[in-house]
Amino acid sequence: NKPPALCSPQGDMIFPLLEAIQPYVPGAHHRLMQSLDKSGLWPQIVAEDFGDLALSCLDPMPKRRPSFANVVKSLQKLAALRSQSFSAGAAQAPHDTVATESSEPSTEGGTDTGGGWMSWWK
């Protein structure tokens, strides 16, 4: 795990996770899934959808970013899905939450705003 932010010797802010994920470079979804905290034991569908939501909030086109209301709705659905997964014993091992290079982002969490935000980080 890396700290969320560091200060460079020149005084600039450095964001290690942002540098590792590179959300504006193709393959960001895969890099995000590879960067998951392995001790979290997140169900794959929840991790994938949460990652999709996070990346959608970083879309370089503001009109394609989800509204705050849509983010809240998506988080509520993901929280319920996570609870259902854990209560049903569906939590998977951490390495099972890692996406493959060819995996498609899921929209089951309701995070697609219809503006095409899912395509820019593949």
pLDDT tens digits, 41-52: 888 889 999 999
Q: What is residue 33's predicted lDDT score, i.e. its pLDDT?
A: 92
Please state, in angstroms and rounded to a whole number, the distance separating the CA atoms of residues 94 and 69: 30
% of residues, the chain, pLDDT over 70: 71
Please state, in angstroms and rounded to a whole number, the distance separating the CA atoms of residues 83 and 80: 5
**6: enclosing H helix or E strand:** strand 6-7
Q: Which residue has the higher pLDDT, 88 or 53?
A: 53
Whole-prediction pTM: 0.64
pLDDT tens digits, 55-97: 999 998 999 999 999 999 999 999 998 888 777 764 444 334 3
